[in-house]
Amino acid sequence: MIDKLKLVGLVLLCIVIIQDQGISSHETPYDVDSTVQSALGYLLSCQNDDGGFGSKPGVGSDLKSSVIAATAIGALPEGSAEFAHANSKLCEYLLKNRDALYNLSNVEAQIGRYVVAIVAIGLNPYDINGTDYVEMLKGYIKPDGKIGKENYIWDDCWVILGLIASNYSGDLHKSLDNLKSMQTSSGGWSWNGGAAGEDPDTTAIVLCTLLAAGEDKNSSAVKKAFEYLHSEQNPDGGFSTLGSNSATDGWVIMALNAAGEDPTQWRSGNADVISHITSLQKENGSIWWKKDSEGFSFEWTANAMIALTEGTMPPVIYQSSERWQS
């Protein structure tokens, strides 16, 4: 792992930035700032000497975890991106190990996630050591607007999100219309694009995608989707037909942020989604899937950081004048 003194310094630096920026404008009965600070400390404890991140402290680096970490760190309020730039080892790890993307399943989605991450920490998606990842993402779009594997909506979303993060100005209407055409009668989306079997996680990433692409938050598709999400909120304030969990909570909060909605106003009795997701944080700063089930806590912790800082997906849009040179 990285040097302990360096880790402490980085955490303190980011705590100052978070406090200066103000994590949330919403009035809450819980300490969101502390939750995010602890989550950041946990994420940084998973960084290794090679600059990459493992899924737990002491676990070797892998590209998937490093992409997740970069997206969350780059999404912190303005100013904290300087930390990511200064931490050049993470940038170098993402550049050096990018070929591992092609060994992962659903490569289209993985490339899209990678682009979202490199933009978040200030890299140039149009020129990563000579590779134009924006052209690569465009190449995944078929003439009818469909993307990647049939029956897997997350491919479509991550490719579109990667293009939006890259500030791509081309026409995405066919792909967006294709996404909207798969909305179920209940208002949600299913991971396989079916006419039923909708779930709040998939619905939330589709909402993030549509809203990031400019869909009106008052459109019928968006309104129906939020009505569906309301129906999936549980008595403890969390979301999911599988039982409330931080993975679903994080995505729903990001969708609400994208629409300019206040997540603290989404209540079930006295409970709201923010109170639920913060209740799942452990002493080491990680946010578990459920209170008694860790799941892939690294990703849920990272997503919670984005969600609780009023972020959405993609968290950062590429600006050519502010790139970290690759």
For residue 192, report the phi and psi dihedrals to the nearest 5 degrees.
-100, 10
Residue type, 159: V
Asked if residue 83 is part of any domain, the answer here is yes
Residue 325 maps to a domain: no
Which residue segment(s) compose the domain that 190 sits in?
4-320
Alpha-helical (H) ranges within the chain are 4-21, 32-45, 63-74, 81-86, 88-96, 107-120, 133-139, 153-165, 173-181, 200-212, 220-231, 246-258, 273-278, 297-308
Q: What is the rounded (10 degree) CA torsion for 206, 208, 213, 219? A: 80
Q: pLDDT tens-digit profile of 226-254?
A: 999 999 999 999 998 789 999 999 999 99
Residues 82-132: pLDDT tens digits? Answer: 455 446 789 999 999 999 999 888 999 999 999 999 999 889 999 999 999
pTM: 0.89
End-to-end CA distance of the chain: give it in Å, rounded.
24
Overall number of domains in the chain: 1
Tell me, yes or no, whether 326 lies in a domain: no
Count the neighbouring beta carbons within 10 Å of the beta carbon of residue 203. Answer: 30
Flag whether pLDDT at 80 surpasses 60.
no
Closest CA to 126 of 315, 318, 316: 318
CATH code of the domain covering residue 217: 1.50.10.20
CA distances from 51 to 118, 235, 280 (A): 14, 41, 28
- Report the alpha-carbon distance of residue 35 to residue 127 in Å, rounded: 36
Helices and strands counted in the chain (H then E):
14, 2
Note the pLDDT tens digit of each residue in 209-230: 999 999 999 999 999 999 999 9
What distance in Å separates the CA atoms of residue 115 and residue 92, rounded to the nearest whole number? Answer: 15
The tokens for 134 are 């924006």
Between CA 243 and CA 264 the distance in angstroms is 19
Residue 151: band (very low, low, confident or very high) from pLDDT cuts 50, 70, 90: confident
Q: How far apart are CA 63 and CA 9, in angstroms?
A: 25
